[in-house]
Amino acid sequence: MKILIADDDAVSRMIMERMLRQIGYEVTAAENGRDAMERLLDKDGPRMALLDWMMPELDGPEVCRQLRTLHGHRYVYLILLTSKDSREDLVAGLDAGADDYLIKPCNPAELKARLRTGQRILRLEDTLVAAREDMRFRATHDALTSLWNRGRILEFLHSALQASESTAILLCDIDHFKRINDVHGHLAGDAVLREVAARLRGAVREDDAIGRYGGEEFLIVLNGCDARCLPERAEQIRKAVSEGGSIMDGVTTISVSIGAIAMGGDDAAPLPVEAILNLSDTALYQAKSGGRNRVVIADRLVANHAH
């Protein structure tokens, strides 16, 4: 594990560096508090630090204080090194945000034991952060496809319509999906859903969004896409699914029907989200009834037939 030693005394710093390397740490050093702060804020900076109490630029307690005010920054375990042994001073150091303290000169065995405690705290912190991120992911993503779930993609749609002058919405439905489930079983159906999700994801840009709208339906939001570019973009997405090759034995072809609409870029009054989704659904119905594997644009209801 990487650890920072910050001390303006070169001899003390050298002794501590040697001690830390002997017990297996990767050591980086700083001569003052400002330099220590910069190293700790680096994206790949140390997760543990030994900070001398008295340093130029920023003292040890001030480094602790400033680091703790940065919400969202990964947790760093901070130990103050001090010759101060009064209860008031130690309380002041801990109140500043230090996790622990060591009285100089440090005993090697005590240093090793306190650093092990720090490692346990960091492992616990990492476990809690991972659990929180997993819960956040589960709350906003579909478990089967890992796409955004219905609630999250609708939130994105609301935001996109408010923020962008032109936004396109595509409602995509897997063709003959019930037949796949009936003939090949639900495990095959799940595999098809995952594969279609992957193909759709690969066909959109980073600033676009895609979510599982429900069942075999997917909702795609294209930022900055108006009525002029929508037919081409929608056709590219349709082809990304239908021309993606076989999925598994017995399911060699798959396609989607798409109902789409472009909002913004004209003088028409904005529509509420429910009305936009209803128009997309109507266009999707026309694409399905018109032979499937095609795109229907809701604002013009022009069918772009698959070739």
Catalytic center residues: 216
Write down the residue that tokens 């622990």 correspond to: 100
Q: Residue 186 in contact with residue 216, Cβ under 8 Å?
A: no
Q: Residue 173 in contact with residue 256, Cβ under 8 Å?
A: yes
Calpha distance 307→292 (Å, rounded): 12
Write down the residue that tokens 């560096």 correspond to: 17
Nearest to 297 by CA among 212, 171, 205, 176: 171
Beta bridge partners of 168: 222, 262
Specify the 3-state DSSP secondary structure of 107.
coil
Rg of the chain, C-alpha, whole Å: 29
Residue 193, H or E segment:
helix 186-203
Calpha distance 126→48 (Å, rounded): 14
Q: Residue 204 in contact with residue 262, Cβ under 8 Å?
A: no
Q: Residue 60 in contact with residue 81, Cβ under 8 Å?
A: yes
